[in-house]
Every structure is written in structure tokens, then in C-alpha cells.
């Protein structure tokens, strides 16, 4: 399985996937930490977090897969959402919570 197939499998088989630097318990950059906090504030309890620092092929491959140059990257329901800045804007508007609810990642409130 090539790296693009692996990423496609990760994104399609999990409701929420966060490609980040570090782990949710120990983020290795401020943007990844912000992304994790936003997901927690939305009530997401299950996130497939992929530490790009552990695998350079994934670190480069995810940038090609999404055509987005930076990490973190969030996928919800198989769709690319964006990085931490976009996540924050969507959180502030309520759009991210709605997207997570629609994907079954959090219960409707």
C-alpha cells in the first residue's frame, strides 16, 4: 500500500482524523495544540490522531493528498476541513460543531 492509499484509508475509515505534530496528550506545536483544544471544546471524544513527526512519508504525503502545505490538518467524515486557523473560524461560527454532528462524531446538542 502506498502512502496515498494509507492516508485515504485513514481518512475514510474514521469520522475524525487529525494529522498533527505530536499526540493529543502531548502536542509538539502550538497549532496542533490549538486544534486538539478546539475538538475537545466541540465534545469530540474519538479522534484518530496521526503524529506526522513519526513518519516523514505521511508528513509529506498528507500535504500532497490535501494540496495543503501545513500541519495540522483535520478531516471530518472523509472530507478535508483545514488547519487550526480554519478550525477556529468554523468553531466560532458554529459550523465545525454542525459538521462534527453531521459526521456522527459528537451528539447533537
Flag whether 42 is marked binding: no
Cβ atoms of residues 91 and 39 within 8 Å: no
Residue 51 phi/psi, 5-degree rounding, is -80, 105
CA angle (51 as vertex; 47, 97 as ends), nearest 5: 30
In a 10 Å sphere around its CB, with 0-12 CB exposed, 13-18 middle and 19+ buried, how is residue 14 labelled? buried
The number of beta carbons lying within 10 Å of the beta carbon of residue 109 is 7
Return binding residues for [2Fe-2S] cluster.
29
Return binding residues.
29
Amino acid at each position: 500500500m502506498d502512502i496515498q492509499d494509507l492516508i485515504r484509508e485513514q481518512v475514510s475509515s474514521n469520522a475524525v482524523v487529525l494529522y498533527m505534530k505530536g499526540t493529543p496528550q502531548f502536542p509538539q506545536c502550538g497549532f496542533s495544540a490549538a486544534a486538539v483544544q478546539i475538538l475537545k471544546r466541540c465534545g469530540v471524544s474519538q479522534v484518530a490522531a496521526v503524529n506526522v513527526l513519526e513518519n516523514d512519508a505521511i508528513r509529506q504525503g498528507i500535504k500532497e493528498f490535501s494540496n495543503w502545505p501545513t500541519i495540522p490538518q483535520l478531516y471530518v467524515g472523509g472530507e478535508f476541513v483545514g488547519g487550526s486557523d480554519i478550525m477556529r473560524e468554523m468553531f466560532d461560527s458554529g459550523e465545525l460543531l454542525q459538521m462534527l454532528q453531521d459526521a456522527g462524531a459528537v451528539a447533537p446538542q
